[in-house]
Chains A and B, each alone.
Chain A
């Protein structure tokens, strides 16, 4: 009953015309920013922050939150259409999404991404409403040892990410880890592998790496050959997912939502890890794992659901503890402060109208996003009909502006071009980019938490086994590592074949 009261409070705020307007503006800008690679929610929100100075805190937060979850909807569009991941969480979407587009199934891919986003987003709001306080307590139990073990578990799923040679995938992962460690050592502020460049002090950015490895390299591969009149040989088949598509992806959506929501609560890129993990899980449970990487719709549905659910989950530590879990949430925290509202344990009591107003506005925003995005699919697939000779300069331009607008430095464009060449050579020599990106993201967290844990325990590694959550993750990782060796568990993956090469 109490909940109904709260909902009533919430909707009475969220349904005010001015707040509906702010919500729409938020999700609209969010969609736009999400579709454009590079410029992300952080940039857009900080620029719009001054506009909200004059409005009520409710309107301001509703709009800014709308931008945030709005970008999660649009993030997959360029991954699917032109192989440029709009953000880290969409790297996995490229793997099967782009392949679907090449087979003329861009419509269903975009469709399942939109519906998946809606379903997972709504699920996350319900979770946020019902379970925020207990979950925030659970998140606090994650200290350095728990993070270390989670990252270790994350690394083991590399096994399922590779679809070519396992040795080569592992090799790419080691390079990803090393790339991730460039910059100031977070333990002792010592520059590592910076070669005396100030620009490398904060490490190599994610955007130049993924846009180079995926976007630029794809363009290079396409222009080296005689360009055909059309981009893709096949006709565009259908705009929406078919009944068969739904059948194939329904459980992927459920699993993606659940994992994304819970991992999204954790500070430090939970959404990205969730998108990779759900992809691996889908491949593992699938009866046809060989379809992954060649346009399996589950491979789009699961990570897209995961990153939207994670966006919802990330609000829990902000609203209940006042802890920002990522840069976007940190910006929201700033917006709260400007309006003299202190998010944290007292928010629900002191400002029920704001708390529930924002939460319920997310329901409305999600519906708006679905209505906004479905008709757009028809427009997006037209992009694929543009002749490649016109399209490829535009793709390059998007990458250039995207990378520049994140850091405002041309150094990052040089990095992107270098990774474009690297990515091109990698495709020629049959190395995969996804394990590199995953390791690049997890590597620094892995190293940092390992060293922090050992500082805490004064050098005793028992800290990883004595803490229950950490121990569970390590056991899971161990099971994953040995599963290919046990017949019966390792269904499809023949270890010998995996370790040598699977040429298909």
Chain B
């Protein structure tokens, strides 16, 4: 019996101690402990790699470590959704917000509202998308490819990293706008899309910069990129906008916390994460991964989120992706 009492005493002690520390923390300034950044993708991808470098650079300015927590699922929506539902809005938990968060809300029943459940902090970066063909393919330019597809409906098969991905949706937008019919073969990620093109199983691949090594080694030809401006790495390749398609797709992403964060904390986080983003190490990894530097301050980012939300709503309706 003695030991039983002793055991429960230990637990009460633990509890007391933790309460004590909790009050201590509240009194002190932000941040007094590590900030957790939820990366809604599995470890190892481009985004995860970026965040691990970014976290290292931000640490210097924050004075506390930034811990990357992987919560993959639902094309980047499960992580932020779980944060919105469970995390305290104390600034110690933030998550990456990608465009899929807005898209999925229009496509299916979800348990979050991207306009209401988050406190947006800042815009960070975006992707470089493009269309590639094998280097021995007959099409030298994107217009040639479109002309061929127009004359030969159903002859062109294109691969994307998956159904409902931005690459897939953009290709469908082009086919709708130009009245062409090409066949979509949904691959599982870039890792399946690239070999399928190299092996000649599909004619065309729409992807993010996973195609870089093949374009650089001359096995693939990059026909067009989807960004606002031409890329630094391939300045000779035109953009969809230049070619007159009126489409700019960069899938910008940023950071947000749960709703109801203190504005002072948001300001601190914004300033620190901005410095981290402008750190030479971060800029270097962005360039290596062919991701864009797309910083937006809190105000502009909130505006952009509203625009993206609306844009995705229109797209989902136009392409008939709405479920039930």
Contacts and interface: CB of A to CB of B under 8 A. Distances in A.
Partners in one complex: yes
Interface of A: 42-43, 45-46, 49-50, 53, 139-144, 184-191, 196, 198-199, 201-202, 267-268, 317, 321-325, 327-328, 330-331, 333-334, 337-338, 340, 342-346, 407-409, 448, 452, 455-456, 458
B111 A198 contact: yes
A475 B37 CA distance: 51
Nearest to B107: A189
Contacts of B81: 198
Interface stretch (B1-9, B14-22, B185-193): B185-193
A334 B51 CA distance: 12
B163 A330 contact: no
Nearest to A445: B188
A343 B288 CA distance: 13
A344 B214 contact: yes
Given A198-B110, A201-B74, 15 more contacts: A50-B52, A50-B56, A53-B53, A191-B323, A198-B111, A268-B192, A322-B194, A323-B194, A333-B44, A337-B285, A338-B53, A338-B288, A342-B216, A346-B217, A458-B183
B89 interface: no
A142 B219 CA distance: 18
B242 interface: no
A167 to B, nearest CB: 33
B87 interface: no
Nearest to B165: A189
Interface stretch (B25-33, B142-150, B195-203, B243-251): B195-203
23 contacts: A43-B43, A46-B44, A46-B52, A50-B52, A50-B53, A50-B56, A142-B195, A143-B199, A186-B162, A186-B188, A187-B186, A198-B81, A268-B188, A321-B198, A331-B43, A331-B44, A338-B49, A342-B212, A342-B213, A345-B214, A407-B71, A455-B185, A456-B157
B70 interface: yes
Contacts of B192: 267-268
A190 B162 CA distance: 12
Categorize the interface residue count of chain B: 35 or more
Nearest to A334: B49
Given A198-B111, A338-B49, A342-B216, A267 B195 contact: yes
Contacts of B194: 321-323
A456 B191 contact: no
> Chain B CB within 10 Å — which of A143, A184, A340, A452 has the most?
A452
B53 to A, nearest CB: 7
B48 interface: yes
B34 interface: no
Contacts of A42: 42-44
B71 A409 contact: yes
Contacts of A317: 195
A202 B72 contact: yes
A13 to B, nearest CB: 22
B291 to A, nearest CB: 11
Contacts of B200: 143
B302 interface: no
Closest 8 CB pairs of A and B: A143-B201, A331-B44, A46-B43, A189-B164, A344-B213, A140-B199, A334-B49, A189-B163
B108 interface: yes
A181 B321 CA distance: 21
A24 to B, nearest CB: 23
Contact of A201 (B52, B78, B154, B186): B78
A202 B53 contact: no
B289 interface: yes
A343 B213 contact: yes
A143 B196 contact: yes
A50 B72 CA distance: 20
A334 B49 CA distance: 6
B235 interface: no
A142 B199 contact: yes
A317 B195 CA distance: 9
Contacts of A408: 69-71
A320 to B, nearest CB: 11
Nearest to A323: B195
B188 A448 contact: yes
B46 interface: yes
> Chain A CB within 10 Å — which of B55, B191, B288 has the most?
B191
A49 B52 CA distance: 8
B123 to A, nearest CB: 23
A331 B46 CA distance: 9
A188 B162 CA distance: 8
Given A202-B72, A327-B44, A408-B71, A186 B163 contact: yes
Contacts of A331: 43-44
A325 B46 CA distance: 15
A286 B72 CA distance: 44
Nearest to B53: A338
Contacts of A340: 288
B56 to A, nearest CB: 5
A41 to B, nearest CB: 10
A190 B323 contact: yes
Nearest to B163: A189
A142 B201 CA distance: 9
A441 B53 CA distance: 33
A110 B158 CA distance: 48
B283 to A, nearest CB: 13
Given A46-B44, A201-B78, A338-B285, A330 B213 contact: no
Contacts of B285: 337-338
B73 interface: yes
Interface in B70-102: 70-75, 77-78, 81-82
Contact of B44 (A184, A190, A328): A328
Nearest to A347: B213
A191 B216 CA distance: 38
Given A190-B323, A345-B213, A456 B111 contact: no
B232 interface: no
Contacts of B111: 198
Contacts of A139: 195
B138 interface: no
A346 B42 CA distance: 28
A323 B109 CA distance: 35
B76 to A, nearest CB: 11
A141 B69 CA distance: 38
A456 B185 contact: yes
Contact of A327 (B43, B53, B157, B289): B43
B56 A337 contact: no
A337 B49 contact: yes
Contacts of A188: 163-164, 186
A49 B202 CA distance: 35
A199 B78 contact: yes
A321 B195 contact: yes
Interface in B167-219: 183-188, 191-192, 194-196, 198-202, 212-214, 216-217, 219
